[in-house]
């Protein structure tokens, strides 16, 4: 971090910094790739939760956003976004029913459904609401088997909902070497689910899939829409999966060395700024883009313990170090704002407008 | 959750709820145990980050608070707390130097130090600041070996700091069966470090240790002060370590079932409300106090996948389920407020005043 004719303003660590030039390159690359393949890009805003980034995404794709919660939908709707897909099996009980109604009055809203019980609640909350049936393509989280998609569509139609298609999240592509298989599963599952809908008399106009690792591999003859999120920033996990290089990581935690020993330093960035996500196959709790051979071997709330390779210079107490989090979505959700940097110079700050928007 | 003559107001999930009766019982038990052993209790406020809970703790112990960051110290100082120990090897560079000066002008402040470099920066920031030398009792994170405590004390004194003692965090007690050994290491390390200080001509008036798992086992002939934090709420991890029972867990995430299959349910509480902390020895990503045999086998941002034992009733779509997070400190830091419950009735809401106070 440096260069330019300005000095970076001194700021206490740890904080999250976004390299806006890398961000813009990532956003354009995904938008171009989707357009080239004839797929609608509906980026998942849960990754960044920032109005400024969502605006860039919508300007590039000409389509709407994906969100994970009603609260995220509310915050993006308040910022003027009028086309939102809530890719989650929403249970419209309690105050959430009225909140969904208010949202549906204001924006083009679609939500996920995967049970007759949830369809009945949604139908009571918002008659005519557009829904997509969630199917399980191998991640085994939520979603019905594709063969059951017609049954759910029928229940949804009976509840007064407007079924417009099917969606899945191929989350089992988040493992080394798993991307190709997960993308193939996703396409095959959506094809079966779409056929099941047609058999039930409901055309599956929307066939929505896509995650950052699988987005480039989805079958454009089956899918109509992609919903990747992480690609805006990438992260250590995506670099280790091969979805991107460390040079493509647009968001890092800027930390300070607080303790040092031979071959080892402790930074002031811990799980309260990086988050503690650590899939078993990762090399540690994040990566150092400026020293790719270093390993983050331990993480507590305000400490990251970094082991440096033989011969590498260990930074001194007080020196700044950038850390790419393992999972950028959970790191962003810990920060009130992102510090925006271009050419090493701080140029802006963006509020994490949907931070903590869990309900 | 139920009972009383009031109905709990309906609230959209997920949210964090504190059973204030269990909280008060936990606070009193630790305060009584410390008093009985002649140890000062200086609770770590990073766990709850709530003014209301800190007030209860200070009223019980008559002593100050421990905090992890300058920002936490600032927020508790702003709420009127005037005796704060920043148990962290503070690097007083950049704006942090002036922030420390402002704090030291306002409250009785002590901070940690474990290198000559950090001592020099602290001395430049606040002449006469009280410091404790951090020593490593086996957790191998920060802190010098106890034999080196005198060398650091000498450097701190030379930098114009007032060395008042030594401290350690026996974090290697966070493993099954490790509590006794970690507590013994803590006591032995603090004794050696205190002797090293005395040899360097600096009396170690304060010998501070303690963590929730080890607090009851510390040697009261060596230690003068305990700094446990998690004991206020406990969590799934502490229950699995044997520090507490699931009935002692005062904070849970209240979630809703969004998907159900035989023997299995998916809840709307994920890593953005529970946090993703998962030590290898835990049984999963949290525990269900109302169904101790259930296992949280997978966690994503807005999903917890729960497997129920044979014969157990799987809750229906729409039903509420309480989840004790693995690590309550990182869960609290995700919430803007805690919903306070007594006898199943919502009685208050407490702001997480120091949420996100990382710098």
pLDDT in tens, B215-274: 999 999 999 999 999 999 999 999 999 999 999 999 999 999 999 999 999 999 999 999
Contact B269, B255 (CB under 8 A): yes
- CB of B122 within 8 A of CB of B90? yes
Do residues A130 and A153 touch, judged by C-beta distance below 8 A? Answer: no
Residue B7 has pLDDT above 90, yes or no: no
Residue of A339, A333, A255, A245 whose CA lies nearest to A289: A245
Indicate whether A68 pLDDT > 50. yes
Strands B206-209 and A303-307, by their bridges, are unpaired
A149/A133 Cα distance (integer angstroms): 6
How many angstroms separate the CA atoms of A355 and B11, rounded? Answer: 19
Nearest to A89 among B70, B258, B298 (CB): B258
Determine, for residues A258 and B69 on separate chains, whether the beta-carbon distance falls below 8 Å: no
- Which residue from A minimizes the CA distance to B318? A91
Q: For residue range A161-170, list pLDDT tens digits in order.
A: 999 999 999 9
Contact A359 B14 (CB under 8 A): yes
Q: Which of B140, B301, B336, B353 is the best residue to mutate to test the A interface, defined by the most A CB atoms within 10 Å of its own CB?
A: B301
C-alpha dihedral over A241, A245, A246, A249, to 10 degrees?
-90
For residue B36, the distance in angstroms to the closest alpha carbon of chain A comes to: 31
Q: What's the first-to-final CA gap in chain A, in angstroms?
A: 37
What is the DSSP secondary-structure string of B29-83?
Answer: HHHHHHHHTT-EE--BTTTT--HHHHHHHHHHHSS-EEESSHHHHHHHHHTT--E
User: Rounded to an integer, what distance in angstroms lies between the CA atom of residue B270 and that of residue A315?
Assistant: 36
Whether the pLDDT of residue B9 is over 90: the answer is no
Averaged pLDDT, A168-184: 94
Please give the Cα distance from A163 to A308 (Å, whole number): 54
Q: What is the distance between the alpha carbons of residues A195 and A201, in angstroms, rounded to a whole number? A: 10
Provide, as residue numbers in chain A, all residues whose Cβ is less than 8 Å from the Cβ of B331.
Answer: none
pLDDT at A239 over 80: yes
Query: What's the pLDDT at B210?
Result: 87
Question: A298: nearest CA in chain B?
Answer: B141
**Whole-complex ipTM:** 0.96
- B14: nearest CB among A273, A317, A358: A358
CA A137 to CA A133: how far, in whole Å? 12
From B126, B203, B114, select the one nearest B151 (Cα to Cα): B114
Alpha-carbon separation of residue B333 from A70, B45, B111 (angstroms): 21, 12, 22
Q: A8 and A235 in contact (C-beta within 8 Å)?
A: no
**Residue A319: count of CB within 10 angstroms of its CB:** 16
Residues contacting B350, CB < 8 A, separation 6+? B18, B50, B51, B52, B53, B337, B338, B340
User: In chain A, helix, strand, coil percent, each to 5?
Assistant: 35, 25, 40
**Residues in B touching A140 (Cβ below 8 Å):** 305
The pLDDT > 70 percentage for chain B reads 97
Residue A319 has pLDDT above 80, yes or no: yes
Q: Which chain A residue has its CA at the smallest distance from B285's CA?
A: A277
Chain B positions in Cβ-Cβ contact with residue A88 (cut-off 8 Å): 258, 302
Q: Name the residue of chain B whose CA is nearest to A99's CA.
A: B12
Contacts of B115 in chain A (CB under 8 A): 259-260, 317
For residue A206, the SS3 value is strand
Contact (CB, 8 A) for A167 and A206: yes
Considering only the beta carbons, identify the residue of B143, B273, B278 that sits closest to A358.
Answer: B273
């Amino acid at each position: 971090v440096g260069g330019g004719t300005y000095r970076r303003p001194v700021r206490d660590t740890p904080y999250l910094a976004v390299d806006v030039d890398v961000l813009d390159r990532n956003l354009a690359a995904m938008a171009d790739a989707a357009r080239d393949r004839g797929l609608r890009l509906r980026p998942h805003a849960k990754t960044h939760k920032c109005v400024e980034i969502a605006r860039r995404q919508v300007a590039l794709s000409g389509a709407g956003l994906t969100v994970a919660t009603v609260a995220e939908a509310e915050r993006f709707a308040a910022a003027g976004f009028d086309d939102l897909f809530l890719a989650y099996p929403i249970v419209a009980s309690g105050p959430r029913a009225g909140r969904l109604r208010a949202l549906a009055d204001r924006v083009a809203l679609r939500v996920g459904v995967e049970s007759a019980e949830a369809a009945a609640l949604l139908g009571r909350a918002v008659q005519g609401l557009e829904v997509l049936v969630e199917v399980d393509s191998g991640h085994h989280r939520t979603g019905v088997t594709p063969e059951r998609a017609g049954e759910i569509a029928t229940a949804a139609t009976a509840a007064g909902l407007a079924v417009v298609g099917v969606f899945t999240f191929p989350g089992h592509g988040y493992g080394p070497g798993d991307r190709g298989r997960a993308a193939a599963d996703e396409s095959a599952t959506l094809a079966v689910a779409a056929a099941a809908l047609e058999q039930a008399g409901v055309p599956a106009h929307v066939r929505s899939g896509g995650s950052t690792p699988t987005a480039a591999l989805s079958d454009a003859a089956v899918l109509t829409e992609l919903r990747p999120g992480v690609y805006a920033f990438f992260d250590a996990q995506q670099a280790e999966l091969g979805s991107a290089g460390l040079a493509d990581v647009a968001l890092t935690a800027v930390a300070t060395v607080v303790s040092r020993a031979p071959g080892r330093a402790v930074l002031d960035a811990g799980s309260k700024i990086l988050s503690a996500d650590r899939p078993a196959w990762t090399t540690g709790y994040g990566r150092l883009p400026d020293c790719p051979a270093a390993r983050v071997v331990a993480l507590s709330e305000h400490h990251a313990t970094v082991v440096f390779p033989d011969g590498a210079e260990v930074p001194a107490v007080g020196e700044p170090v950038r850390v790419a989090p393992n999972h950028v979505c959970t790191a962003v959700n810990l920060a009130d704002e992102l510090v925006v940097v271009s050419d090493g110079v701080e140029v802006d700050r963006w509020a994490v407008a949907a931070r903590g928007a869990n309900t």
